[in-house]
């Protein structure tokens, strides 16, 4: 049965992630998590994947709905086991503080019935072999400490997406990230091969990038979206008059991008964080991961289509790229896919 996508009272995550989903959503997710008992699932990616991990861990470990994850972990107010790379120094931080959790390179959660989820952070497009070595050591320590989990993972869900796209100059990315965005198919093929070499028995699942709702951008982000859209004659919902009125500023922003990245205007536009480029990432991922030569090397790769689930849901995002009130429903669909992948691999 397909999970229901719903929005409760608006887009914001709020102090506790527990308020972003209904009790019915949580009950569905809790039941689905039992299908992973005795299994280990590894998530590798940016904050969009980390948020999925946090929501699944919150439900699976029975965190209080009103209590932020950091506070609950610090007070040990949960079932199962939760491991992280270093102690929480600011337990009062709300779940909406994405930057706070970004300081942890890995996180592991095991339910009391031994369904284990691990998250490994990536920023840009690093060598996944090094990421796997780091998280494998963490998982083995988690097993020694708790008796839960283990290594290697049965399923690995990974993503390269939002962290490759810029909103320059408000949100720059490293030059290497832009170059990886431009050669996205090659990046995915290389990362799949790297994962298969490091994890020969894991079932690989790729997560497409969230659909960016650049119409939700405000302030300098909105101004820069206008500049990049106007440069190619696509005004992102604005009128041609707005492009003419801001022509000098738009030209200056494009010039700054060209200089910063030693790139053409066309390359700057193709790597801007907006709906069009996240849709292109989805299309390029589908093309790359179904390529016969790659599949002959690494086997079939399942696709979790987060773009499809978030496209057209601008009323479910406050910042244009994270969708907190869709997380429980997204996780329900993802776990159904993961369960199928585990069954196919055994």
In degrees and rounded to multiples of 5, residue 116 shows phi and psi of -115, 130
> Cα angle vertex 56, ends 148, 16, to 5°?
120
Burial of 339 per CB tally in 10 Å (0-12, 13-18, 19+)? middle
Q: State the distance between the two ends of the chain, measured CA to CA, in whole angstroms.
A: 22
CB 196 within 8 A of CB 204: yes
- pLDDT above 70: percentage of residues in the chain: 92
Give the chain's domain count.
2
In a domain, 10, yes or no: no
pLDDT value, residue 102: 86
Distance from C-alpha of 87 to C-alpha of 37, rounded to nearest angstrom = 27
In a domain, 12, yes or no: no
Q: Which of 2-6, 146-150, 262-266, 301-305 has the lowest mean pLDDT?
A: 2-6
Do 259 and 172 fall within a single domain?
Answer: no
Do 105 and 228 fall within a single domain?
Answer: no
Q: What is the mean pLDDT of residues 232-244?
A: 65
In a domain, 331, yes or no: yes
- Tell me the per-residue pLDDT of 24-74, one tens digit each, with 9 for 90 and over: 999 999 999 999 999 999 999 999 999 999 999 999 999 999 999 999 999
Tokens coding 104: 């942890």
pLDDT value, residue 209: 97
In a domain, 1, yes or no: no
Do 83 and 148 fall within a single domain?
Answer: yes
11: pLDDT strictly greater than 80: no
Do 187 and 74 fall within a single domain?
Answer: yes
pLDDT value, residue 6: 38
Do 97 and 221 fall within a single domain?
Answer: no
- Its domain, for residue 249, covers 215-272
In a domain, 27, yes or no: yes
Last residue of a domain, one of 272, 301, 318: 272
pLDDT value, residue 238: 53
pLDDT value, residue 341: 56
Distance from C-alpha of 109 to C-alpha of 115, rounded to nearest angstrom = 8
Distance from C-alpha of 324 to C-alpha of 17, rounded to nearest angstrom = 8
pLDDT value, residue 345: 47
* Residue 197: count of CB within 10 angstroms of its CB: 13
Do 192 and 231 fall within a single domain?
Answer: no
Q: Can you say whether the dihedral through the CA atoms of 195, 172, 174, 187 is positive or negative?
A: positive
Do 179 and 240 fall within a single domain?
Answer: no
In a domain, 170, yes or no: yes
Last residue of a domain, one of 249, 272, 295: 272
Distance from C-alpha of 177 to C-alpha of 273, rounded to nearest angstrom = 12
Distance from C-alpha of 6 to C-alpha of 25, rounded to nearest angstrom = 9
Do 335 and 228 fall within a single domain?
Answer: no
In degrees and rounded to multiples of 5, residue 83 shows phi and psi of -120, 145
SS (H, E, C) the chain: CCCCCCCCCCCCCCCCHHHHCCHHHHHHHHHHHHHHCCCEEEEEECHHHHHHHHHHHHHHCCCCCCCCHHHHHHCCCCCCEEEECCCCCCCCCCCCCHHHHCCCCEEEEECCCCCEEEEEECCCCCCHHHHHHHHHHHHHHHHHHHCCCCCCCCEEEECCCHHHCEECCCECCCHHHHHHHHCHHHHHHHHHHHHHHHCCCCEEEEECCCCCCHHHCCHHHHHHHHHHHHHCCCCCCCCHHHHHHCHHHHHHHHHHHHHHHCCCHHHHHHCECCHHHHHHHHHHHHHHHCCHHHHHHHCCCEEECHHHHHCCCHHHCCCCCCCHHHHHHHHHHHHHHHHHHHHHHC
In a domain, 5, yes or no: no
- Give the global pTM: 0.92
In degrees and rounded to multiples of 5, residue 25 shows phi and psi of -60, -45
- Tell me the per-residue pLDDT of 281-326, one tens digit each, with 9 for 90 and over: 999 999 999 998 899 999 999 999 999 999 999 998 889 999 998 9
Do 245 and 122 fall within a single domain?
Answer: no
Do 30 and 48 fall within a single domain?
Answer: yes
Tokens coding 136: 């494998």
Last residue of a domain, one of 227, 246, 272: 272
* Residue 223: count of CB within 10 angstroms of its CB: 16
CATH number at residue 39: 3.40.50.1110
pLDDT value, residue 343: 55
Omega before residue 152 within 30° of 0, cis: yes
- Tell me the per-residue pLDDT of 182-225, one tens digit each, with 9 for 90 and over: 999 999 999 999 999 999 999 999 999 999 999 889 999 999 99
Do 65 and 168 fall within a single domain?
Answer: yes
In a domain, 220, yes or no: yes
Do 186 and 37 fall within a single domain?
Answer: yes
């Amino acid at each position: 049965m397909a999970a229901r996508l719903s929005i409760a009272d608006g887009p914001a995550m709020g102090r506790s992630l527990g308020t972003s989903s209904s009790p019915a959503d949580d009950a569905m997710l809790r039941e689905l998590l039992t299908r992973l008992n005795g299994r280990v699932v590894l998530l590798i990616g940016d904050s969009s994947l980390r948020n999925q991990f946090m929501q699944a861990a919150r439900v699976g470990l029975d965190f209080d709905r009103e209590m932020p994850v950091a506070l609950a972990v610090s007070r040990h107010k949960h079932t199962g086991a939760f491991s992280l790379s270093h102690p929480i120094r600011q337990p009062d931080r709300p779940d909406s503080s994405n930057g706070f959790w970004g300081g942890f390179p890995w996180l592991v959660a095991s339910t009391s019935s031994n369904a284990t989820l691990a998250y490994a952070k990536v920023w840009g497009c690093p060598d996944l072999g090094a990421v796997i070595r780091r998280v494998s050591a963490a998982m083995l320590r988690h097993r020694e400490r708790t008796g839960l989990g283990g290594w290697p993972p049965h399923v690995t869900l990974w993503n390269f997406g939002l962290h490759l796209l810029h909103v320059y100059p408000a949100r720059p990315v490293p030059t290497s990230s832009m170059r990886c965005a431009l050669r996205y198919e090659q990046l995915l093929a290389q990362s799949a091969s790297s994962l298969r070499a490091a994890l020969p028995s894991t079932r690989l699942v790729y997560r497409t990038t969230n659909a960016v709702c650049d119409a939700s951008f405000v302030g300098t982000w909105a101004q820069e979206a206008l500049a990049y859209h106007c440069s190619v004659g696509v005004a992102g919902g604005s009128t041609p008059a707005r492009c003419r009125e801001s022509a000098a500023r738009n030209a200056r922003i494009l010039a700054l991008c060209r200089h910063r990245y030693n790139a053409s205007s066309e390359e700057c536009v193709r790597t801007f964080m907006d709906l069009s480029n996240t849709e292109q990432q989805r299309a390029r991922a589908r093309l790359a991961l179904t390529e016969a030569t790659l599949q002959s090397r690494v086997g079939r790769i399942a696709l979790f289509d987060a773009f499809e689930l978030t496209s057209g849901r601008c009323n479910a995002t406050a910042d244009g790229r994270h969708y907190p009130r869709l997380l429980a429903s997204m996780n329900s669909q993802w776990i159904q896919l993961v369960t199928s992948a585990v069954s196919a691999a055994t």
